[in-house]
Amino acid sequence: MPESPSPARPAPLVAATGIVLDTCGRVLVLTASRGTDTDLPGATVEVTETPEQGLARGLREGLGLAVPVGRLLAVDSRPPGPTGPTGRSLIVHVHLVGPLPPREAAALAGGRWLRPEEACAVLPARVVPRLRAGLAALHTGSFAHLVDGVPQPGSPVGLDPARRAALEHAGELDAASHRASRPKALTAASVVFTAADGRILLVQPAYGHTDRWNLPGGGIDSDLGEIPRAAARREVREELGLDLAPGRLLAVNWSHKPGRPARIRFLYDGGVLDAPTLARIRLDPTELLQWRTVPREELPALVKGALRRQITACLDARASGAGPLELHAGRP
């Protein structure tokens, strides 16, 4: 059993910091009364508190903000000395808070809403690495491990790609650290169905961007050993209530945005659905709001450009017998 801290062996000082976001992706930066010192919201964690409880208390007492503390984005540890607290090491937990809706964000006093790059320009040097690493973890759905603000070898995010490559080539990463620091990708499987008149089956999601229509399908449960074809069939069964084996693979699409994981979509031929089969569709209300079939010319008004290009490429591949196609953001 660990020994209790004593004056001769002081425990680390533990703090919790919140990256508080609004719906525009701006960061809340606090400004001291004299207008020069800036910081992110946070609090020192008391002996009887968890970091989440300490941060919630700090937000409530300092900002009058009573909201849930979100997931852990990063941990930064600083040893005693010139850059850390005198005589004690410091451990900082960085959590996501929000995004706050516009009315709640506008009501906060004592801080400014800044774009991430603006926030990095005004925050102290010791805080900026935590913000950068925390946002990187947020955007990639991962976690950052920092020591004195420096991402460590094997940190899932925050490590500069050139630094990661140098460590790999030098053989300085063990197998676990190598896996943790490698870039990640999200995988999904979709099915292209058409009606007898050639119209494409689209579905409207019940969550996220509900104004954007999509193909039936969803994420591949690769952690359960699921393969893309099985995921496509499962998603169609769950979303539409139709248990239909997907046809041939029409295309694989790769898309990427800087700072985000790559997205890989497997697109299968669902074939032509006759009127009795369409009538058997039963939506899962937790997944979908509605479905419809649309002609090609209506696609630009309903789906994003990259998905429209994927659908068009798949229909052309189906008609010509070509494929599977290799697509990048819907382009061959």
pLDDT digits (tens, 9 = 90+) for 216-272: 999 999 999 999 999 999 999 999 999 999 999 999 999 998 888 999 999 999 999
Q: Round to the nearest angstrom and report the end-to-end CA distance of the chain.
A: 61
Give the pLDDT band (50/70/90) at residue 9: low
189: amino acid identity, one letter: A
**Tokens representing residue 104 in the block:** 């709640």
- The answer to whether 220 touches 189, Cβ cutoff 8 Å, is yes
**Tokens representing residue 253 in the block:** 């699409």
CA distance 23 to 21: 7
Q: What is the pTM of this model?
A: 0.83
Which of helix, strand or coil describes residue 44?
strand
Mean pLDDT of 306-310: 96
CA distance 202 to 193: 8
CA distance 220 to 79: 42
Helix/strand/coil (H/E/C) assignment for every residue in 255-270 = ECCCCCCEEEEEEEEE
Matching residue, tokens 């000082």: 13
**Residue of 233 and 5 predicted with greater confidence:** 233
CA distance 208 to 190: 17
Q: What percent of the chain has pLDDT over 90?
A: 78
pLDDT digits (tens, 9 = 90+) for 192-206: 999 999 999 999 999
E strand or H helix that includes residue 289 = strand 288-294
E strand or H helix that includes residue 224 = none
